[in-house]
Amino acid sequence: MTGYDALHSAAAWIDLTDRGKIRVIGEDRARLLHAMSTNDVQHLAPHQGLYAFFLSAVGRILADAYIYNLGDSLFLDTEPETAAKLSEHLDKYIIADDATLENETGEWACIGIEGLKALEVAPQLGISVPGQRYAVTDWQNGFVARVASTGSEGIRIFVPIGSKHLLMDKLIAFIPQAASSEARLVRMENGIPRYGDDISERYLVQETQQLHAVHFNKGCYLGQEIVERVRSRGQVHRVLMSLRIHTTVPPTPGTKLVADGQNAAEITSAEFSPALGEVVALAYVRTEPAHTKPQLTIAGSDPPITATLP
C-alpha cells in the first residue's frame, strides 16, 4: 500500500522533522505569547495546546503555530520556513519580560501518524494518544501532540533527534511512510491550507477562514484592532476555499479564475488528485462568487477549463 492510499484508508507516518520548534521559558512566557498571538494562551492549561496566528501591527499574518503547554515551558511547532522569522518577531517584543526563546529545531525529531485509523494504530505501537484535539501527553523521552496536517485526526511524536531512527524503524515495520508530496496531496483533497502556500503576509485572518486560530474575547494582542474591525464591519472581500478544476494539469499559483467575465478567484496551490480524477486546488475567492458558487473558468484558457466550488 502506498503512503497516499494509507492516508486515505488506514494510517501512514510522515517525517515532519524539518518543522520549526521554539521553546519559550520564564515566568512571563504565557503573557508574552498571549499578547503576541490570536488565541488564548494565558489560560492554556498544562498538557493542552492550541493553534494560533501571529500578526503584524496591521493585522497581516506573519506565521502560524501550534502552541503546547509542557508545564515548565511553552513549545511552538511551526512551519520550517517561519521558525527564524517567528523567533525574531517575538524577540523584538521582549523588553522587560521574564521570557526567553530557545530555537530547538535541530534538537527534536517530529514524526506524524495520520489517516482514518491513525488513532487506532498508535496504541498498537505503544504510543500514547492524548484525549482531545491539540492536547499533549508525555511519551518516553519526548511527548505526543494530537494534531494533524492532512486530515481531521492524527498525532505528532516529538523525540530527541538521536532517538529518531529507533522510532522510524518501529514505524516502518508496521505502517507505510507517506512522502511529503503524498501528504500535501491528501491535505489539499481535504481542503486544509498551509502557511507558506495558501496563507501568507498578504492575507487577513478572516480571509483564511481558519477561525479556530482566533479567540475573539481574549483582550489585546498585536494586530487585534484590524481583526476586530473586520469582524464588526464584516468587510472581507475574499475568502480561502477549496475547489475542483476539471483538468489533469494543475494550474500554477497565482492563476486567475473568472465568472461571467469578472475576476472571481486566485489559486494559491493546485495538484492532480488520482482519487478524484481531476485537480484539487485552494484559492482566494471573492465574496460574491463564494456565496453564489457560479461555474468558474481559468482565465484565458482555450478551450475553457472550468472549475467548481464545493
> Could you confirm whether domain 3-189 is CATH 3.40.640.10?
no
The DSSP bridge pattern shows strands 100-103 and 256-259 to be unpaired
> Is the pTM above the cut of 0.75?
yes
Considering the domain delimited by 237-310, tell me its CATH architecture. Beta Barrel (2.40)
Per-domain residue ranges of the chain: 3-189, 237-310
CB neighbour list of residue 92: distance below 8 Å, 6 or more residues apart: none
CB neighbour list of residue 239: distance below 8 Å, 6 or more residues apart: 206, 207, 208, 209, 284, 285, 287, 290
Cell representation of residue 46 = 498544562
Domains 3-189 and 237-310 are alike in CATH topology: no
CA-CA distance, 165 to 45, in Å (whole number)? 32
Buried b (16+ CB within 10 A) or exposed e, 37-71: bbbbbeebeebbbbbbbbbeeebbbbbbbbbbbbe
Per residue of the chain (310 residues), what is the pLDDT tens digit? 899 999 999 999 999 999 999 999 999 999 999 999 999 999 999 999 999 999 999 999 999 999 999 999 999 999 999 999 999 999 999 998 899 999 999 999 999 999 999 999 999 999 999 999 999 999 999 999 999 999 989 999 999 999 999 999 999 999 999 999 999 999 999 999 999 999 999 999 999 999 999 999 998 999 999 999 999 888 799 999 999 999 999 999 999 999 999 999 999 999 999 999 999 999 999 999 999 999 999 999 999 999 999 8
